[in-house]
């Protein structure tokens, strides 16, 4: 009997070491190495895997070919039956791809995939594997959501070997695993959810998806800070990593692409959690613009670019005289460090001092703004709150602010202005380089070069 070998694996990045050490050399984290037992290589495993890699059209191959000769028509996309889901995926599901869907508990990951699986099962072969719920619990949820359950193949199992054997027999076009943290391989001695189990289970399932041209949909858990649980190498194995976000007090959910080999990154899809499950929101700007009748100081609408479309969201600023020696800077939905930088630019190039004020910023609707086009809108909202002067309800603002006070252009400026005009806005303050030669009908576009120019316009 061969002696069992072991290695020490970092729980943060998945790096392996032969012996224990206090600090991981890859991610520089301390006390993150845990011992895992390594399974001995099975005889003939490499030969069988190599045979499988070249056994299907459009999959992995050991033959050297010219890139121009690869026929893309052999890889058609499959619709997930949700337009917003397809948008985030880059146009639909790609056969042979592995997609990881993460999110906090209760965000709706299982609900979204169950709805997708039930609808796809009406015309395609779908196998749904649950490792967290019993078949009766899944059936009860499907009945509550009023989903068509006929045709959907179900399996309650956590053994990867058993799942692969069933998948070989059923040959599904779409394979759903809920969740990857509950799966385990018999050869790995660690418990399910550990670094080695998650990594090897995902590798085995992904290998099967590539070899059989199956769409693999994995559910993944996240840690308390919102990052994906498990080794970092898991995100490198898969083709697309999606994150479903949404607070327990909000009925809206946002699906954002963090990695996608077949489409744009940071694409955003919006869903509403209703009584009968998730429903896609085809016009997200409308739900984020539900403002009160009376316009308050510090409230302003900006146009951000999410993936391949513009999105109108409201930013709110509140400034209050601080009783602390170090005034607070709180930003919800925006980068707090960038807020501090913008306030310094406002003081230096706008002549407005906020060092004695507590500054609070909020993006309405729980949207996280990651781009710099919100800079000018943030400063305008701050000035409005500082001077207690409400802004026009028909005003929309976007633009990047530089450290010298210049207003820099942002991508897709023309499309942002057109989107604002569609929603009834009649005035826009934009960077001069983004100003159109001909403004949309009913829209007054004011082009500015400096922060002082924008403040003078207001």
Binding site residue list for ATP: 103-110
Residues in the chain: 458
CA distance 414 to 98: 36
- List the Cα angle 309/314/318 in 5-degree steps: 150
Q: Where on the phi/psi map is residue 291: left (φ > 0), alpha (ψ -120 to 50), or beta?
A: beta
Asked if 201 and 39 touch (Cβ cutoff 8 Å), the reply is no
Strand partners, 127: 153, 175
Cα separation values, 160 from 167, 171, 200, 267, 434, Å: 10, 15, 10, 32, 53
CA distance 391 to 291: 13
CA distance 431 to 434: 5
- Residues that constitute the known binding site: 103-110
CA distance 411 to 372: 10
CA distance 183 to 161: 10
Positive or negative torsion for Cα 210, 256, 183, 38 = positive
- Tell me the two tokens of residue 42: 């099975």
Element (H, E) at 155: strand 153-156
CA distance 416 to 165: 51
3-class secondary-structure state, position 216: strand
- CA–chain centroid gap for 248, Å, is 18
- The phi, psi pair for 441, rounded to 5°, reads -60, 130
Find all residues with CB under 8 Å of 18, minimum gap 6, and list them.
Answer: 7, 8
């Amino acid at each position: 009997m061969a002696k069992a070998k072991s290695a020490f694996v970092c729980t943060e990045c998945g790096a392996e070491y032969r012996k224990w050490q206090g600090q991981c050399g890859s991610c520089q984290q301390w006390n993150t190495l845990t011992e895992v037992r390594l399974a001995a290589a099975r005889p003939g495993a490499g030969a069988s895997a190599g045979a499988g890699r070249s056994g299907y059209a459009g999959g992995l191959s050991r033959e050297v070919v010219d890139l121009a000769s690869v026929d893309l028509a052999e890889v058609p996309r499959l619709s997930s039956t949700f337009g917003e889901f397809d948008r985030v995926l880059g146009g639909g599901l790609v056969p042979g791809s592995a997609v990881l869907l993460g999110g906090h508990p209760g965000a709706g990951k299982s609900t979204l995939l169950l709805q997708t699986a039930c609808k796809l099962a009406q015309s395609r072969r779908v196998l749904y594997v649950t490792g967290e719920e019993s078949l009766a619990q899944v059936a009860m949820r499907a009945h509550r959501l009023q989903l068509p359950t006929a045709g959907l193949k179900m399996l309650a199992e956590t053994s990867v070997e058993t799942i692969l054997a069933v998948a070989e027999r059923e040959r599904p076009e779409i394979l759903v695993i809920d969740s990857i943290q509950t799966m385990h391989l018999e050869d790995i001695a660690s418990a399910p959810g550990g670094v080695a189990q998650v990594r090897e289970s995902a590798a085995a399932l992904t290998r099967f998806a590539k070899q059989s041209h199956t769409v693999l949909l994995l559910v993944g858990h996240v840690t308390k800070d919102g990052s994906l649980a498990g080794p970092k190498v898991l995100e490198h194995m898969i083709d697309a990593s999606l994150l479903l976000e949404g607070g327990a007090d909000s009925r809206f959910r946002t699906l954002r692409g963090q990695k996608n080999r077949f489409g744009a990154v940071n694409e955003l899809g919006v869903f509403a959690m209703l009584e009968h499950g998730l429903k896609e929101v085809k016009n997200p700007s409308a739900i984020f613009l539900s403002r009160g009748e009376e316009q308050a100081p510090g409230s302003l609408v900006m146009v951000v670019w999410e993936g391949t479309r513009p999105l109108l969201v409201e930013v709110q600023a509140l400034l209050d005289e601080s009783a602390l020696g170090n005034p607070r800077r709180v930003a919800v939905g925006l980068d707090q460090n960038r807020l501090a930088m913008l306030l310094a630019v406002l003081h230096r190039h706008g002549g407005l001092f906020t060092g004695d004020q507590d500054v609070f910023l909020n993006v309405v609707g729980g949207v996280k703004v990651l781009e710099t086009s919100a800079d000018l809108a943030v400063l305008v909202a701050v000035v409005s709150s500082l001077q207690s002067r409400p802004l026009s309800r028909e005003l929309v603002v976007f633009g990047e602010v530089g450290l010298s006070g210049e207003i820099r252009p942002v991508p897709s400026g023309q499309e942002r202005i057109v989107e604002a005009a569609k929603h009834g806005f009649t005035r826009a303050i934009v960077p001069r380089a983004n100003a159109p030669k001909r403004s949309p009908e009913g829209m007054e576009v004011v082009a500015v070069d400096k922060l002082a120019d924008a403040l003078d316009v207001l």
